[in-house]
Structure 1
Amino acid sequence: MKLIERPKYGPLHRFTDYHVYKTLSVLSDGTRKGRKQLADKVGVGEGSMRTIVECIRDKGYIDVKQTGIKITKKGSEFFNTIPLQIYTLGESDLVYGKSGVAVQVKGVASKIGSGMEQRDRAMIAGADGATTVLVKKGKLQIPGDIDLESIYPDTASTLNKLFDLEDEDIVIIGTSAQLECAEEGAVAAALDLL
């Protein structure tokens, strides 16, 4: 899913679709926030935040006033159509000694090959690695028909508790020494599937 178009001319943006998603997520609580406050929470510079704000304002997703930036009804509706659920994982067998963030994407299991594509995308975005988990016939599997529940029962139990999983759903678990990098990697890999 492309949340922002790359410029045809001039320098490339120093932010990604993840940062646009994160901006909408931070604003989704409905309160006004200043540009600097948003930039700090999203993890981009003020210049990048200015560009993000300009782009999503042009789409009608936010309202910008002197008192701050607030998501609009159209922005909330758009944000709620993005089929991602995100949870921070505690210590588990898949994220031992690192931070882990799990992102559920509904109904895209048919788009998964070996899972390496998602791992590579997550690593490009800054994560140390990522594992893709598929739901097939009610079972959690790693691509290649590897039964997650028999190898990593704690992780399988955690994912079943956190998410309302159905057949054809996937969960991408991004890992990194830094929580923000794990989240950015997992969300970037998930957005590529939409």
Structure 2
Amino acid sequence: MKLIDRPKYGPLFRFGDYHVYKALSVLSDGRRKGRKQVADRIGVGEGSMRTILDHLREEGLVDIKQTGIKISKKGQEFIGQFPLQVYVLDAPDITLGQCSVAVQVKGAASRIGSGMEQRDQAIKAGADGATTIVVKGEKLTVPVDYDLDTDRPEIAGAIRRLFDLTDGDVIIIGTSADLQQAEEGALAAALALL
């Protein structure tokens, strides 16, 4: 799912769908916030933040006043449509980086091949890598046939405690030395599945 299109003319944006999603997520508590405060939270400059907010305002997803930025009712409904859950995860056994962020994508198992596509998306977004886990029946598997329940029951248990899993769900664990980069990688890979 593309949240923002590339510009037809001029320089490319220095942000991606992750930053647009994260901006809405940061604003989803309903409180007014300043542009700089939101920019700092999502890791973009104020110029990029201005462009993101202009786009969100054009779509009717945020309300911008002199007192700050607030998500609109339409924005709340829009962000509520995303079948994503995000958690920080301690999984050094199956991931590369020091920091790991896990994202659940409901019902996306049919769109998973080898898991390399998600890894590549995460790396493009700045993470060190990503591990994809698919829920097949009662089992957690890493494509193509690595059984997480049998081979790493402690990791499988940690994932089950974090998420309400159903058959066909996908968990993408983004990893990096930096927590924000791990989250950006995991969410970029997850958003590409939608």
TM-score range, shorter chain: over 0.9
- Residue equivalent to 1:136: 136
Query: What CA deviation, in whole Å up to 9, does each residue of 1:8-49 have, x standing for no partner?
Result: 111111100000000000000000000111110010000000
Q: CA 1:92/1:157 → structure 2, altered by over 3 Å: closer, same or farther?
A: farther
Q: Which amino acid aligns with 1:102?
A: A
Query: What one-letter code is carried by the residue in structure 1 that aligns with 2:160?
Result: N
Identify the residue that residue 54 of structure 2 maps to in structure 1.
Answer: 54
- 1:75 aligns with 75
* Structure 1 position 93 matched with structure 2 position 93: yes
User: In structure 1, how many angstroms separate the alpha carbons of the residues matched to 2:107 and 2:85?
Assistant: 13
Asked if structure 2 preserves the Cα contact closer than 8 Å seen for 1:63 and 1:69, the reply is yes
> Structure 2 counterpart of 1:157, which letter?
G
Q: Identity percentage over the alignment?
A: 65
Distance 1:96 1:55, change over 3 A: closer
- Give the CA deviation at 1:151: 1.8
2:20 is aligned with 1:20: yes
> Which residue number in structure 2 is paired with residue 168 of structure 1?
168
Instruction: Confirm whether residue 120 of structure 1 aligns to residue 120 of structure 2.
Output: yes
Q: Which moved more, 1:84-93 or 1:72-81?
A: 84-93
Q: Which runs of 5+ in 2 are unaligned?
A: none
1:111 CA displacement: 0.6
Instruction: Tell me how many residue pairs correspond in the alignment.
Output: 194
- Report the residue type matching 2:175 in the other structure: T
Q: What's the RMSD between the two structures over aligned residues?
A: 1.1
* Corresponding residue of 2:159: 159
> 1:142: how far off?
0.5
Q: In 2, distance between residues paired with 1:186 and 1:92? A: 16
Compute the TM-score of the two structures, normalised by the length of structure 1. Answer: 0.97
Q: CA deviation at 1:94?
A: 2.3
Taking structure 2 as the reference length, the TM-score comes to 0.97
Measured in 1, the distance between the counterparts of 2:96 and 2:116 equals 20
Q: Using the TM superposition, give the Cα deviation of residue 57 of structure 1 relative to its aligned residue in structure 2, in angstroms.
A: 0.4
Counterpart secondary structure, 1:192: helix
2: CA distance, partners of 1:97 / 1:34: 32
Determine whether 1:10 maps to 2:10: yes
2:135–2:170 contact (8 Å) kept in structure 1: yes
| Mapped contact 2:96–2:175 kept (Cα < 8 A) | no
2:31 paired with 1:38: no
Alpha-carbon contact 1:14-1:48 (below 8 Å) kept: yes
CA offset at residue 90 of structure 1? 2.6
The answer to whether the 8 A contact 2:2-2:17 is kept is: yes
CA offsets per residue over residues 78-136 of structure 1, 9 Å max, x none?
Answer: 00101110000135422476100000001110110000010011011111111000000
Work out the CA distance in 2 between the residues paired with 1:67 and 1:87: 31
2:193 alignment partner, SS class:
coil
